[in-house]
Chain A
């Protein structure tokens, strides 16, 4: 690990003023500290934001909930209001990592997790995300865990978050404080970015910006929801493919759909075409299959991850089926 300075901020102004070109905010540290030990992240300065007062869950003006950025993943997922109104979010969050990690990890930090691409972690290997211009080791290497949508020649890594897949399906917004004291709101689908020729940037956040809250719209999927996470062992593992599915069904017809996929792209992959297709249709196996096919026909897998196309199709159908068949 390289030397760095550490400061602990007691309020947001202190945190924002302490930022430099190479500083990082430190919350739970479950990802950042690991990456510093591996010499992948090399901040000169850590600004501890654990004392900041973004630890509440409150009602917002849209009839939804606002989740504080500094609340832990455990506290959020098991908060009675979240569990009853946004069970899809609770389910996705509780599928992630282990109890110990969920107790430490913050909501804001979850949005900023880095990829689990092995070439990103191994500093002797080329990786454009870790070291721009060094090349992509996975492109013609071991790419079983990599993207099938939205990648570029410079990076084929995937976003590893489960929470973010549910947030994409639900349609959240991220509130951010800027160093000049103003704040802005980012649509969840615009928060993470595709790699293009700047894979070192995972998100559209600017240096020094601080996530303060996640705003949820009014709850729409509290009856029909399912987060399906397919992985190599049944617990404490990252997804090969995951699907967050929320449905609203009125007198046998689908009126609203929230659908997103994880571990298939550089960002949580919102399934807009399938969502649009399903609205106004009956929740039948054949409609679910048609919706899945509509999305997966655009998949462009690599040598090692061809399995993700079939798995993805089946996962979409199964998540929708489980969501629909859930007893209300």
Chain B
């Protein structure tokens, strides 16, 4: 198996499996994109971008947005991608947003 396929299994990056082949193909292509230093809409500065990018979560979500998962396995898909891309295999945790974070989001 490709490391991306293994990571999808490990992180449960799917529920029904319908979108999974596409998600994995796009994820593998994105590894190359990051290596080549290609920009996305959320890239901070288009002029300074270099090869060998380490993509933030925002970047990963923007760049994989062409594959829709109706089960909503996005968090685990991002996690699977991160493990192969940057070795980050930490499982996501969640907590309620603070008032300060809510205000910041509102005024963004």
Contacts and interface: CB of A to CB of B under 8 A. Distances in A.
Interface of A: 77-78, 83-84, 87, 90-91, 94-95, 97-101, 222, 229, 234-236, 326-327
Nearest to B65: A235
B89 interface: no
Contact of A83 (B30, B47, B63, B66): B47
A235 B39 contact: no
Given A99-B66, A235-B61, A77 B39 contact: yes
B26 A99 contact: yes
Contact of B66 (A78, A84, A101, A222): A101
Contacts of A101: 66
Contacts of A97: 66
Contact of A100 (B33, B46, B62, B66): B66
Interface of B: 26, 29-30, 33, 38-41, 43, 45-47, 49, 61-63, 65-68
B interface SS class = loop
Nearest to A95: B41
A94 B40 contact: yes
Contact of B39 (A90, A98, A100, A234): A90
A87 B47 contact: yes
A234 B63 CA distance: 12
A236 B65 contact: yes
Contacts of A326: 45
B63 A91 contact: no
B66 A94 contact: no
A98 B41 CA distance: 11
